[in-house]
Structure 1
Amino acid sequence: MVAVFLRGAGWQAQRQRAFMVGLAPALLVLVAITLVPAGALVVGSLTPLSLTDPANTFRFDDPLVNYRHLLADERFLQSIGTQLKLSLSSVALQLSFGLCIALLLNGRSRVLSASRTAFLIPMVLPPVVVALIWKILYTPDISPMHRALEAIGWPVRSLIANPDTALWAITVAETWQWFPFTMLMVLAALQTLPPDPVEAANLDGASRWQLFRYIVFPHIRPVLVVCGLFRLIDSFKAFPLIYVLTDGGPGTVTEVTNYYGFIQAFNFSYWGYGSAIAVAILTGVFLLSWAVGKLGWNSHEQHPEH
C-alpha cells in the first residue's frame, strides 16, 4: 500500500510522502489523547454540565453562560491573582537558584559530578512525596526545622497555617523541587561555551562580572528563556503541593485557579463550570507563554553577534 502511495512522483515528493506515512500513526495517537479530550473540554464548557441536574446537562441554548459567570466570580478572579503570584515567584526563584548553582558546579571533577547528582534528587521525586516531605517540615510538632529554631530561641508558627506565609511556603517547596531542572539545562549550556572568548576576555583583564555579563550570559540566555517557559507552564500544575500542604487554605489564600476548578468540578459536580475554568487556564497559559517567549527571543535576536 505504501509503495502504491509513493509511486509516480519525484524523489522529493516521495520523500515528503514517506515522512507523512511514518508520522501518521503518531499523529493519530496525538489526536486521540490530546485533541479529542481538548475538544470535549471546550464542548463541555459551553453547557451547564452537572451531575446534580442531569436532565439539563447538554443544553446549548446559552453557550457562554459559564464564561459570563467567570467574569463575575470574585473567587475565580482572586484565584488568578494567587496563581500569578505563585507562578511568577516560583519561576523567578527556580531560574535564579538554578543559574547560581550551575555556575558553582560548572567544572570537571568527580566531586562536582557527585554534587550534580545529589542536586537532581528533588526533581526525580514524585510530587506527592515532595509534598509529604514539606508537610513534615512545616508541621511544628514533628518538624526538625521547627525544633532547631526552638532550640536557638526562635520559635516559629506553622508556615502553612499562617495566611501571610502559606503561599510563600508552597513557593519554597515548588522551588526546591524544580530548580534542578534549570541547573541541569544551564550546566549543559555552560559545557558548550567556546573557550576562545573566555580566554580572550581573561587576557584583556575582564572581571568575573564582565565575563559573566558579556560572554557567559548571552550564551545561556536562550536556555534560560526555554527553562522559564517550561517552568511557567508547569507551575500551573502545582496541584499536589497545594492539595497536601494547605488544601487551598487557610481560607482561600493558596487557592490557585486549577484548584478552584477542581473544587467546582469534583466537590460540587459543576463539570461545565469547571471545564470553563480549565479552558480559561489553557488560554491564559498559551498567551502568557507566548508573551514571555516572544520577549525573550526578540531580546536574543537583537544581539546576533553573541
Structure 2
Amino acid sequence: MATISSSGALAAPRIARGWPAQRRFALSLGLAPSLTVLVAITLLPAAALLLLSLTPLSLLDPVKTFTFADPLVNYRNLLHDQRFLHSIWVQARLSLYSVTLQLLAGLGVALLLNARQALFGFIRSAFLIPMVLPPIVVALIWKILYTPDVSPMHRLLRSLGMPVHSLITNPDTALGAITVAETWQWFPFTMLMVLAALQMIPDDPLEAARIDGASSWQVFRHVVFPYIRPVLAIAALFRLIDSFKAFPLIYVLTNGGPGSVTEVTNYYGFLQAFNFSYWGYGSAIAVLMLAGVFLLSWLIGRLGGES
C-alpha cells in the first residue's frame, strides 16, 4: 500500500507539470499556420528590403547587382540628397495637417451625432461611406472635383462670380488640396472611435457636473475629454501611420507636382525604384521610412500611455 500511495503521490506532480507543457504545445500548433503566413508576408519581405538597401542594385548596371563592398553607400547618399530631404519635409507637413484635421473633424462630428435616435444612426452610417471606398476611387472623385472643366464645384463658383483656378496645379494650394481629400476620406475613422468612447461614458458624472452648474464647455473639458483622450491618442497613432500611405491620392491628383511640391517620401522612393530603376536606393528610402514610422509609433504610444 505504501508503494502504491508513494507512486501515486509522485505521479500527480508529474501530471500537473505535464499539463501546462501540453497546453503550450497545443497552442503553439494552433498558432503555427498564422505565424508562418506572418513570417512569409511580413518578415521575409522586410529582410529582403533591408538586404537590397545595402547594395547598389540597379537595372541600369546589372554587373553591380548584390555587391556588398560598400553597404552604407545608399544611406550616405540620402543624407546629401536634397530632394529626399525635401520629401521628408513635405511628408511631415502632410501628416501634420491631415491628422490634425481628421482628429478635429472626427471629434466635432462625433459630438454632434452622439445620440441614440434611429435618424442619427442612419447619418452615422452615411458618414462611413468615404472610409470604405477604395483609395483609387476617392482619388478619382477628387480629381473630378479639382478639374475646372468638369468640376461641379468650379461651375457653381463660376456661376456665383467667384472663379477658382485648379487647386492641384497651383504650387500654393496643391498640398492643401491633397490634405482636404485625405481628411474627407479618413475623418470617419476618428469619428467612429470617438463615438464608441462617448457611448461608454457613464451618465453620473455628466449629470453631477450639470447639477453643479457647469457649462457645456466645462463639461466637455473636465468630464468628457479625460474619458476620450486615450482614444484620441490611439486614433492619432493609426492615422499617423496611414498618412505615410497617401500614395494613390498623390499619384492620381498631382503626380508629385507641381514640381516637387507634393512629392512625399514614399512617392520619391517609388520614382527611384520604378522610374529610374535604382532598386537599392529606393529600398534604402523605404527602410528609413519604416524606421521613422516605428519611432513615431513608439513616441505616440508612450505619450498616450502616460496621459
Q: TM-score, normalised by structure 1?
A: 0.94
Q: Does 1:175 align with 2:183?
A: yes
Q: How does 1:216-295 map to 2 (within 5 A)?
A: 216-295=224-303
**2:124 alignment counterpart:** 116
Where 2:241 maps in the other structure, the secondary structure is helix
Aligned to 1:45: 53
Q: Which moved more, 1:274-283 or 1:186-195?
A: 186-195
Tell me, in whole angstroms, the C-alpha distance in 2 between the residues paired with 1:49 and 1:221: 46
The runs of at least 4 consecutive aligned structure 1 residues that moved more than 6 Å come to none
Deviation at 1:20, TM superposition (A): 1.9
Q: Which shifted more, 240-249 or 210-219?
A: 210-219
1:12-37 per-residue CA deviation (whole Å, 9 max, x = no partner) reads 33333322221111111100110000
- Per-residue CA deviation, residues 51-102 of structure 1 (Å, 9 max, x unaligned), is 1111111100000000001000000000000000001110000000000000
Unaligned runs of 5+ in 1: 1-6, 300-306
Q: Secondary structure at the match of 1:10?
A: helix
Matches within 5 A, 1:1-306: 9-299=17-307
Partner-residue secondary structure (3-state), 2:165: coil
Return the offset for 1:196.
1.2
CA distance in 1, matches of 2:256, 2:246: 11
> 1:212 & 1:297 partners in 2: Cα distance?
21
Identical aligned residues as a percent:
73
Moved more, 170-179 or 220-229: 220-229
Which residue type is aligned with residue 61 of structure 1?
Answer: A
Quote how far apart the aligned CAs of 1:215 are: 1.1
CA RMSD of aligned residues (A): 1.3
Q: Name 1:304's counterpart in structure 2.
A: none
- Deviation readout 1:149-171 (Å, 9 max, x if unpaired): 11111111100000000000000
Distance 1:29 1:209 in 2: 49
SS in 2 for 1:254: coil
- The 3-state SS of whatever aligns with 2:277 is coil
Question: Aligned equivalents of 2:43 and 2:152: distance in 1?
Answer: 47
2:67 partner amino acid: R
Amino acid at match of 2:211: L
Point out the more displaced range, 230-239 or 195-204. 195-204
Q: Partner amino acid for 1:286?
A: F
Q: Distance in 1 between matches of 2:88 and 2:74?
A: 16
Q: TM-score, normalised by structure 2?
A: 0.93
| Residue aligned with 1:252, SS | coil
Q: Distance in 2 between matches of 1:196 and 1:107?
A: 17
The more displaced of 53-62 and 38-47 is 53-62
Structure exhibiting the larger radius of gyration computed from Cα positions: 2
Between the aligned partners of 1:238 and 1:19, the Cα distance in structure 2 is: 38
Displacement of 1:147? 1.0
Uncovered stretches (5+) of structure 2, i.e. residues with no partner = 1-14
Distance 2:44 2:137 in 1: 31
**Matched length:** 294
Secondary structure in 2 aligned to 1:231? helix
Q: Distance in 2 between matches of 1:31 and 1:52?
A: 31
